[in-house]
Amino acid sequence: IVGLGNPGPTYAGTRHNIGYLVNDELASRMGGGFRRHKSGRADVVEGRLRPGGPRIVLARPHTYMNESGRAVQEAANFFKLAPADITVFQDELELPPAKVRVKIGGGIAGHNGLRSISAHIGNEYRRVRLGIGHPGVKELVHSHVLSDFAKSDRAWVEALCQAVADNAGLLAAGQDASFANKVHLTMQAKGFFDKGENGGDKPA
Catalogue the active-site residues: 16
Please state, in angstroms and as integers, the Cα–Cα distance from residue 65 to each residue in 70, 97, 198, following that order.
Answer: 10, 21, 33
Q: Single out the residue of 114, 132, 131 nearest to residue 123, CA to CA.
A: 114
Strand partners, 47: 56
Closest CA to 26 of 9, 43, 8: 43
- What is d(CA 81, CA 187) in angstroms, rounded to the nearest whole number? 32
Residues near 128 by Cβ (< 8 Å), separated by ≥ 6? 22, 87, 88, 89, 90, 100, 101, 102, 164, 171
CB 204 within 8 A of CB 196: no
Nearest CA-CA partner of 164 in 185, 144, 146: 185
